[in-house]
């Protein structure tokens, strides 16, 4: 195997966003050797895009907050199909993870008495998001990155994993290629942590970058792990819509947290028109009350713009479909109106939302302190992913762990804004800790050279077909079209069946993809390798969405628009069957223990 560079690590972490970095730091602290691979340069992962903040019940701004309220909010937001144990651990441990970040050098915005400031966000009862203006993700990733580089972790940048290597049912490492030279690398490891993020690249309109092709989901599936909740895709209500080239870029929920309102083309603030029953008691009756809430009045209730993302996204789609959208197919998000309420409003907006100000000014010629933004839903996040044990984050495959977006459970049917960054920290840490323990307790596994040869031959096949092969970019675009149009925000069975047929057809095309040029930094080649993962997760989403014949959270069926209590008791799981076909099964969700159930009841 002379063509391969080989690396030995006790724990291999795949992905260097918040979850991967936090896992790597924890594993290294436990005294094992750690390798960390990332598709991009270190510090560029999608965590950097997170804007609004980290949800943690620190109770710095409102002392009524505590982990129990955060737990209940997370379960309510997830429509009660969350993994209750993950929701519990997350709510209990998030405050400590945030304080730890500060101890590692993160500089959060401050309260007047000098503590970490927290802001309002959709679905969170109290101001709960620790933040740094609207660039919290950058602060988080940089703090972790700077910590990691002094922790003795071997970082392999621009290195993409193509397959996990298995040894009689347990994970033994991974095969990867480096972008720079296009050479293969064998990673031998006793435990592997998947922290690869999401699948947004499967959709045409997305806030995600090229990296998010469902790699961890697909790697785990092929290794024999279960994926659950794949039908729950989060369409963030506010992405940019104009100009076309920026369509999908995220507009932080923080805009609404600071008082921004949603208005249709008739000038109506439509979010007051449809308030779900589960949130009625917590939602403002009047615009006046909503405004007071955003300004910290503890006796006021939240404005309807801060309802959960699934609901707000559907309301926006409803307005657009009813012909009350903007000419570019969005609605208006207005923060400039606060000038009527606040002195120095423009300066206030620039200080609280600096990167939004910058983004609109530079990309759309819009000054958000003076005029409204045009926004519409954008594919943002997937709640579904690898089924893991709540406490250890290990999947159903021995030695294979998953954390962050590629793992499922914490968010149920819909994720609350701000719960992602805290998820990364809480479960990244747990994954790192337990992967290290696994690595210490288990003997080393052996790498099967046949698996390596097979996978590398398959990865190189597009070069053999050269310019006679199909254009990988065109295939990727067709996957995105199919998922956007047929398995998007509003779903019906017929269309999803069409999507499956299209996925089948595109899988045949992808098997004929060809690339030209050399192996060094060849984007066409990388795209051709990513196609298989995109197709796999697209199929998992479509099949799971067909199976769930009800509407819940991020999953909305036009042919089954109501919630069905029977479906509220099951998760949809997909796994690879013996024949290689994707199996879809309904599995009961473990009941919430009485103590936690009473918290949920109490907070209803």
Partner 1 sequence: MKATFRIWRGDGSGGVFKDYATDVAEGMVVLDAIHRIQAEQAPDLAVRWNCKAGKCGSCSAEINGSPRLMCMTRMNALKIDQPVTVEPMKAFPQLRDLVTDVSWNYRVKKTIKPFTPKPPDAADGTWRFEQRDADRVQEFRKCIECFLCQDVCHVLREHSLHEQFIGPRFLVYAAALEMHPLDAGDRVGDLEAAHGIGYCNITKCCTTVCPENITITDNAIIPLKERVVDRFYDPLGRLLRVIGVT
> For residue 453, how many other CB atoms are within 10 A of its CB?
14
Q: Tell me 563's DSSP state.
A: -
Among candidate residues 256, 314, 552, 557, the one labeled active-site is 256
Terminal Cα-to-Cα distance of the chain (whole angstroms): 61
Using CB under 8 A as the criterion, what x/- string covers residues 241-260 for binding partner 1? -xxxxx--xx----------
Residue 92 designated active-site: no
Q: What's the token pair of residue 451?
A: 């698996």
Among candidate residues 90, 236, 491, 552, the one labeled active-site is 236
What's the min distance (Å) between Cβ of 365 and partner 1?
Answer: 9
- Asked whether the beta carbons of 305 and 256 are under 8 A apart, the reply is yes
**DSSP string covering 268-287:** --GGGG---HHHHTTB-SSH
Cα Rg for the chain, rounded, in angstroms?
A: 23
Q: Tell me 126's DSSP state.
A: S
Give, as ranges, the residues between 182 and 211 that touch partner 1 (CB under 8 A). 209-211
Q: What's the token pair of residue 4?
A: 């391969």
Give, as ranges, the residues between 353 and 382 that touch partner 1 (CB under 8 A). 355, 358-359, 362-364
Position among 8, 62, 109, 167 found at the interface with partner 1 (CB under 8 A): 109
521 near partner 1, rule: CB under 8 A:
yes
Can you tell me which residue has the tokens 């190189």? 460
Edge-first strand order for the sheet with 331-334 is 233-240, 373-382, 331-334, 261-263
SS (H, E, C) 228-269: ECCCCEEEEEEEECCCHHHCCCECCCHHHHCCCEEECCCCCC
Give, as ranges, the residues between 86 and 105 that touch partner 1 (CB under 8 A). 99, 102-105
CA nearest to 528, candidates 542, 507, 500, 498: 507
For partner 1, give the closer residue by CB, 107 or 566.
107
Give, as ranges, the residues between 397 and 426 that touch partner 1 (CB under 8 A). none
Position among 26, 88, 139, 374 found at the interface with partner 1 (CB under 8 A): 139
**Alpha-carbon distance 489 to 32, whole Å?**
44
239 near partner 1, rule: CB under 8 A:
no
For partner 1, give the closer residue by CB, 204 or 491.
204
Q: What region, left, alpha or beta, does residue 294 occupy, with left being phi > 0 and alpha being psi -120 to 50 degrees?
A: alpha
Q: Tell me 305's DSSP state.
A: G
Which range, of 77-85, 108-116, 488-496, 536-544, touches partner 1 by CB under 8 A? 108-116
For partner 1, give the closer residue by CB, 44 or 301.
44
Which range, of 186-194, 240-248, 547-555, 562-570, touches partner 1 by CB under 8 A? 240-248
Which range, of 38-46, 260-268, 413-421, 586-594, touches partner 1 by CB under 8 A? 38-46
466 near partner 1, rule: CB under 8 A:
no
For partner 1, give the closer residue by CB, 146 or 367.
146
Residue 236 designated active-site: yes
- Report CA 402 to chain centroid distance, whole Å: 13
What's the min distance (Å) between Cβ of 375 and partner 1?
Answer: 14
Per CB under 8 A, residues contacting partner 1 are: 40-46, 48-49, 99, 102-105, 107-110, 113-115, 117, 132-133, 135, 137-139, 142, 146-147, 149-150, 155, 157, 180, 209-211, 242-246, 249-250, 355, 358-359, 362-364, 471-474, 477, 515-518, 520-525
Show which residues are catalytic: 236, 256
């Amino acid at each position: 195997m002379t063509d391969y560079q080989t690396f030995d690590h006790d724990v291999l972490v795949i992905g260097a966003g918040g979850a991967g970095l936090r896992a790597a730091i924890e594993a290294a602290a436990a005294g094992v050797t750690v390798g960390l691979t990332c598709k991009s340069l270190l510090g560029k992962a999608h965590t950097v895009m997170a804007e609004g903040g980290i949800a943690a019940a620190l109770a710095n701004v409102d002392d009524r907050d505590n982990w129990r309220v955060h737990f209940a909010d997370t379960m309510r937001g997830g429509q009660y199909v969350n993994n209750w144990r993950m929701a519990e651990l997350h709510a209990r441990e998030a405050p400590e993870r945030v304080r730890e970040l500060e101890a590692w050098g993160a500089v959060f915005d401050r309260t007047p008495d000098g503590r970490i400031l927290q802001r309002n966000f959709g679905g969170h009862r109290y101001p709960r998001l620790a933040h740094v203006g609207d660039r919290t993700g950058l602060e988080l990733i940089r703090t972790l990155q700077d910590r990691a580089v002094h922790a003795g972790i071997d970082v392999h940048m621009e290195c993409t994993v193509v397959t996990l290597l298995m040894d009689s049912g347990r994970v033994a490492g991974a095969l990867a290629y480096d972008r720079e030279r296009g050479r293969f690398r064998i990673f031998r490891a006793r435990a592997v942590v998947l922290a690869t993020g999401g699948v947004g690249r499967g959709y045409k309109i997305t806030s995600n970058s090229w990296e998010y092709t469902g790699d961890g989901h697909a790697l785990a599936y092929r290794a024999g792990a279960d994926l659950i909740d794949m039908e729950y895709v989060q369409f963030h209500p506010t992405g940019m819509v104009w100009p076309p080239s920026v369509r999908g870029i995220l507009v932080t929920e923080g805009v609404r947290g600071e008082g921004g309102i949603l208005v249709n083309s008739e000038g109506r603030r439509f979010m007051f028109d449809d308030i779900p029953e589960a949130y009625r008691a917590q939602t403002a009756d009047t615009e006046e009350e909503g405004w007071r809430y955003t300004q910290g009045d503890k006796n006021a209730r939240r404005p309807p713009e801060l309802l959960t993302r699934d609901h707000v996204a559907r309301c926006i789609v409803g307005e657009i479909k009813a012909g009350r959208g903007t000419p570019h197919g969005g609605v208006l998000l207005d923060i400039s109106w606060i000038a009527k309420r606040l002195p120095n409003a423009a300066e206030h907006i620039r200080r609280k939302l600096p990167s939004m100000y910058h983004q609109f000014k530079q990309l759309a010629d819009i000054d958000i302190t003076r005029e409204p933004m045009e926004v519409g839903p954008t594919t943002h996040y997937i709640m579904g992913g690898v089924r893991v044990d709540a406490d250890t984050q290990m999947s159903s495959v021995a030695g294979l762990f998953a954390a962050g977006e590629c793992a499922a459970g914490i968010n149920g049917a819909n994720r609350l804004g701000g719960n992602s960054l805290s998820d990364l920290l809480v479960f990244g840490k747990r994954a790192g800790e337990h992967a290290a323990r696994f690595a210490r307790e288990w003997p080393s596994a052996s790498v099967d050279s046949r698996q390596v040869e097979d996978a590398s031959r398959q990865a190189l096949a597009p070069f053999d077909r050269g310019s006679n092969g199909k254009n990988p970019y065109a295939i990727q675009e067709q996957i995105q079209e199919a998922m956007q149009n047929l398995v998007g925000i509003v779903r019906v069975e017929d269309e999803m069946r069409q999507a499956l047929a299209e996925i089948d057809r595109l899988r045949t095309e992808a098997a004929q993809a060809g690339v030209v040029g050399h192996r060094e930094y060849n984007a066409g080649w990388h795209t051709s390798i990513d196609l298989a993962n995109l197709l796999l997760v697209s199929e998992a989403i479509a099949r799971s969405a067909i199976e769930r014949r009800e509407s819940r959270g991020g999953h909305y069926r036009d042919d089954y628009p109501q919630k069905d209590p029977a479906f509220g008791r099951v998760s949809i799981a997909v796994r690879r069957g013996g024949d290689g076909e994707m199996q879809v099964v309904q599995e009961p969700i473990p009941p919430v223990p009485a103590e936690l159930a009473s918290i949920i009841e109490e907070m209803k």
